């Protein structure tokens, strides 16, 4: 009997070792995750300018964290539980302190599918109450179903939509671990629930997807008119560094927000002329000069959809 038990334990141990080796292989083949220091107490990881895929584990957005005297505050949770686990490992390289909070800028899949990892560690999740509209929607359910197929094994039937523990209704000053974060409610813009988080002690702004750098923004069902206004509001912060939702850090707030702003203005101007003249979308899109933006990553993937959604939005605004 002892030999059988020992053999069973050996098999379990061997299986664990094999599973560990497979995880190492997966990690080795995945997109690299590299820490970049933002300020004395803040770091971030930069996602790829690409679509989510099994090859990159859906690592297409940024996430950041701040080390406070009492623990770690994470800003956004990345696009899969595997990525969140990798981020936890990177955080442990910086500090042994526990992860106490996650601040969510918005509930798009590439920013929140890792939330369950932080929740399991005991972190409190903070987001805008308007996120509940998405969490309880058919859109969220269908998106998760599609991701379970398209991004397997990184998104599977164990991947969950995780609600916040604390819902904000608007602007609020948060004192976490002795550090102040100013939560700025700027939705509806990129999403209805957009939050930006400003850390005045180090003049760092975590802008979420209100700011895209070095790639075409994802407009989707955004309220582009209010998005432009939201960017103007963010410029009111005395900022040294902006951590965008996508792309590299920004040290020149006005200049680097301008790319996102100019693109949105261009979309609204071009599609606005078309809707006013009742020009069909296909003709309007074909006759628009897109050369100012064609060099940006993901232009071919996102621009047509962005233009179409803006066309529909402007038709609605005109009614």
**DSSP 8-state class, residue 157:** T
Give the tokens for residue 284: 């309007």
pLDDT, residue 255, reads 85
Q: Which ranges of the chain would DSSP assign to H, the alpha helix?
A: 2-29, 81-94, 109-112, 115-120, 131-135, 138-150, 224-234, 253-276, 281-287, 299-318
pLDDT, residue 220, reads 86
Rounded-to-integer distance, Cα 128 and Cα 167, Å: 5
Give the tokens for residue 174: 């948060």
CA–CA distance from 47 to each of 72, 132, 147, 172, 243 (Å)? Answer: 20, 26, 18, 28, 12
Burial of residue 19 (CB within 10 Å: 0-12, 13-18, 19+) is exposed
Quick one: which of 286, 289, 222, 288 has its CA closest to 260? Answer: 222
| Helix orientation angle between 224-234 and 299-318, rounded to the nearest 10 degrees | 110
pLDDT, residue 291, reads 97
Q: What is the DSSP string of 226-283?
A: HHHHHHHHHTTS--SEEEEEESS-BS-HHHHHHHHHHHHHHHHHHHHHHHHTT--HHH
CATH topology of domain 24-253: Metallo-beta-lactamase; Chain A (3.60.15)
Per-residue pLDDT of the chain (319 residues; tens, 9 = 90+): 333 333 333 333 332 333 333 333 344 457 899 999 999 999 999 999 999 999 999 999 999 999 999 999 999 999 999 999 999 999 999 999 999 999 999 999 999 999 999 999 999 999 999 999 999 999 999 999 999 999 999 999 999 999 999 999 999 999 999 999 999 999 999 999 999 999 999 999 999 999 999 889 999 889 999 999 999 999 999 999 999 999 999 999 888 888 899 999 999 999 999 999 999 999 999 999 999 999 999 999 999 999 999 999 999 998 7
Rounded-to-integer distance, Cα 87 and Cα 95, Å: 12
Give the tokens for residue 8: 């069973």
Residues whose CB is less than 8 angstroms from the CB of residue 218 and which lie 6 or more positions away in sequence, other chains included: 190, 209, 212, 302, 306
Quick one: which of 206, 211, 246, 173 has its CA closest to 39? Answer: 206
């Amino acid at each position: 009997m002892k030999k059988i038990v020992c053999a069973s334990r050996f098999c379990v141990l061997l299986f664990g070792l094999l599973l560990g080796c497979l995880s190492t292989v997966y990690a080795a083949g995945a997109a690299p995750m590299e820490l970049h220091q933002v300020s004395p107490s803040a770091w971030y990881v930069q996602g790829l300018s690409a679509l989510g895929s099994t090859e990159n584990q859906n690592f297409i957005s940024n996430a950041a964290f701040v080390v406070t005297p009492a623990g770690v505050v994470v800003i956004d949770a990345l696009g899969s539980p595997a990525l969140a686990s990798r981020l936890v490992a990177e955080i442990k390289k910086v500090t042994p302190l526990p992860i106490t909070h996650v601040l969510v800028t918005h509930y798009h899949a590439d920013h929140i599918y890792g939330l369950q990892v932080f929740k399991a560690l005991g972190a409190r999740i903070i987001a805008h109450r308007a996120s509940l509209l998405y969490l309880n929607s058919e859109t969220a359910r269908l998106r998760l179903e599609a991701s379970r197929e398209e991004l397997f094994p990184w998104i599977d039937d164990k991947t969950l939509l995780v609600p916040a523990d604390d819902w904000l209704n608007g602007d609020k000053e948060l004192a976490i671990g002795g550090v102040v974060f100013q939560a700025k409610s700027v939705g509806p813009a990129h999403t209805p629930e957009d939050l930006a988080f400003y850390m005045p002690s180090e003049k760092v702004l975590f802008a979420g997807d209100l700011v895209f750098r070095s790639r075409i923004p994802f407009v989707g069902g955004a309220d582009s008119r209010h998005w432009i206004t939201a960017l103007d509001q963010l410029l009111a912060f005395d900022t040294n560094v902006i951590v965008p939702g996508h792309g590299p850090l920004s040290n020149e707030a006005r200049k680097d927000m301008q790319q996102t702003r100019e693109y949105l203005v261009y979309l609204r101007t071009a599609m606005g002329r078309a809707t006013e003249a009742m020009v069909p979308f296909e003709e309007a899109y074909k006759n628009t000069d897109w050369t100012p933006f064609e060099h940006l990553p993901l232009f071919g993937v996102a621009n047509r959809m962005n233009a179409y959604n803006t066309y529909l939005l402007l038709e609605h605004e005109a009614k």
